[in-house]
Amino acid sequence: MKKPRGVSLLINRFIRFPREPILLAGSFPRNNYSWKQLFFLILGKLTGKIFFKPYWLKDSKDLNHLLCHIDALVIDTMQYPQPSGIATRARHFGIPVLINSHDSFLGELSKLDRGILKLDLLNTSPRELKVILDRLKKYPPIKAPNKADQINSFVTGWSQ
């Protein structure tokens, strides 16, 4: 069973802290979730605590608009250890990125970018999370890589 990048993690957090609103966007194959998670996903949507965009956003303007409405981006690095374009875009807008503590590209990047934080999201209270996010939002946004930066990074990586 393939798991999404953070949806299961956020649904499990919603089960624990149901007053916190969350925004989910992307593809949501039902077989990726337990019946309990699906129940709470529907419950959260009906109560207005889970905002749900069940499709991939193809337009950059729509994606940027959604990013402007979140406090942080969550990526489950256990399920997705590779580099993430959405994380780079979020950091470009100054949005904190929360990851779990598994080995991953973003885990390594968090050593350079203090706006990326390894965090046990399921065991962090809403009050603690607010303090953490307020601190992370003070870190400057990162510069978005241009095509030349991407090519140089690729060449450097392959040459090593």
Q: What is the reported pTM?
A: 0.82
Alpha-carbon distance of 139 to 109, in angstroms, equals 14
The ranges assigned to domains in the chain are 7-159
Q: For the chain, what percent of residues have pLDDT higher than 90? A: 42
Confidence tier at 93 by pLDDT (50, 70, 90): very high
Contact 128, 104 (CB under 8 A): no
Strand partners, 24: 52
Identity of residue 109: L
Confidence tier at 86 by pLDDT (50, 70, 90): confident
**pLDDT (mean) for 126-149:** 88
CATH number of 7-159: 3.40.50.2000
CA angle 13, 18, 20 (to 5 degrees): 80
Contact 42, 18 (CB under 8 A): no
- Return the beta strands (E) in 15-159 as ranges: 22-25, 50-53, 73-75, 97-99, 116-118
